[in-house]
């Protein structure tokens, strides 16, 4: 009799455990259905927000005009782009841009060097560049240090065919209020540029 009760008790406990497990499983499935419904919504909203972000990226306006080149010119097979001319509070103007070698041979920039004896050691560089204030009738040469090194790019090595190199040159700043000047280097035609105020 006690064995029979024990067996029945075990069967009942097993049945209760199985039933409890099934109830929990069904409840878990039911709960996860609701949760899964929420999750796709979140995924949908995040994917839609991602789409919105992509849409925003596509709808962004074009680059501002400030990013456009100030001037472009050619010196033989060399294409010259002037990207900026910034007036600094220190009393000088920094002109910068790029050169691209479109020729069949490498280029050193020797014809851009200055004829001044003091600047001869600069080799291929922008030491021969100048700014001209046409209204003030004044020409500004590249700044140099006490050792005769120009405050400009020195092309150490050649610019190979098809390559582009960045450059800069610093000049004394024209008087306040003078914003339009002409940049000249090598045999490139003079390029009119506008000086902008630096920070």
8 Å CB contact between 183 and 73 = no
pLDDT tens-digit map of 116-131: 877 777 778 888 899 9
CA-to-CA distance for 141 and 30, rounded, in angstroms? 82
pLDDT tens-digit map of 94-111: 999 999 999 888 888 888
Q: Is 0.75 surpassed by the pTM of this model?
A: no
DSSP letter (8 states) at residue 14: H
Task: For residue 167, name the pLDDT band (cuts at 50, 70, 90).
Answer: very high
8 Å CB contact between 82 and 95 = yes
CA-to-CA distance for 96 and 93, rounded, in angstroms? 10
pLDDT tens-digit map of 42-58: 444 444 444 444 444 44
**Does pLDDT of 187 surpass 80?**
yes
């Amino acid at each position: 009799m006690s064995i029979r009760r024990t067996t029945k008790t075990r069967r009942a406990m097993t049945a209760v455990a199985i039933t409890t497990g099934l109830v929990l499983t069904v409840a878990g499935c039911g709960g996860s259905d609701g949760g899964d419904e929420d999750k796709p919504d979140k995924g949908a909203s995040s994917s839609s927000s991602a789409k919105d972000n992509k849409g925003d990226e596509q709808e962004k306006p074009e680059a501002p005009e400030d990013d456009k080149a100030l001037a472009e010119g050619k010196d033989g097979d060399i294409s010259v782009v002037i990207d900026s001319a910034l007036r600094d509070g220190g009393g000088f103007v920094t002109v910068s841009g790029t050169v691209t070698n479109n020729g069949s041979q490498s280029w050193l920039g020797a014809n851009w060097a200055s004829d001044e004896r003091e600047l001869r050691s600069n080799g291929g560089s922008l030491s021969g560049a100048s700014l001209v204030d046409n209204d003030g009738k004044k020409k500004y040469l590249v700044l140099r240090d006490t050792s005769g090194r120009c405050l400009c790019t020195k092309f150490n090595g050649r610019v190979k065919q098809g390559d582009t190199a960045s450059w800069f040159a610093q000049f004394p700043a024209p008087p306040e209020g003078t914003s339009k000047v002409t940049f000249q280097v090598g045999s490139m035609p003079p390029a009119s540029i506008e000086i902008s105020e630096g920070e």
